[in-house]
Amino acid sequence: MQTSAESNLFELCRVQPTLYKWRATSAEPNLFELCRVQPTLSKHRKKEHSFIMGVVQTHKDLLVWQKSMVFAKAIYQLTRNYPADERLCLVSQMRRAAVSVPSNIAEGYGRQSAKELCRFLSIALGSVSELETQILLSFDFGYLSNTQKDELCILSTELAKMISSLIRTVSTKPVVT
């Protein structure tokens, strides 16, 4: 049985169907299944990076950026239910770290140099690790259910692997602009 907070989380993941394409594999989809976004390609940008299979024209084309956006929205949605006394502490820290992940991916991409991209991807990776710690603390404090914690930890681990893989790819291949 889904709680009201979990139902709202699922609805949040369906907000922008034109930007994100969702695949749910069961009648009761979980966050992990909903967050399996598929890349879309923008046809309106001149700049192209070809360090990943195919052509990436904007940071919005990166699957890791798309997933990080969903992750940030999920964090915002879940932290709405935290106690008021946590608003200036844990909630603020979690939201800042969540926003940092897609923001650093986008900023690194916009710098147009492999070295700068790797630097900003590394910052994003640090923010994912920070968020995972805060998710575990939230669970320990009783603010998250075991299911919510597990789904968020799975997504954060997946994001960390994707960012690490992108760092390895970018650092071994030149970025073409």
Please write the tens of the pLDDT for every residue from 50-80: 444 456 678 888 899 999 999 999 999 999 9
pLDDT of residue 70: 94
Percentage of the chain lying above the pLDDT 70 cut: 66
pLDDT tens profile 18-29:
333 333 333 333
pLDDT tier for residue 38 given thresholds of 50, 70 and 90: very low
The Cα 109–Cα 85 span in angstroms is 37
Which stretch of 37-46, 100-109, 128-137, 153-162 has the lowest confidence by average pLDDT? 37-46
Using alpha carbons, list the distances in angstroms from residue 91 to 8, 39, 98, 109. 18, 30, 10, 28
Q: 44 CB contacts (<8 Å, ≥6 apart)?
A: none
Residue 116 has pLDDT above 70, yes or no: yes
Question: In the numeric block, which tokens belong to residue 119?
Answer: 């630097």
Tokens of 142: 């009783």
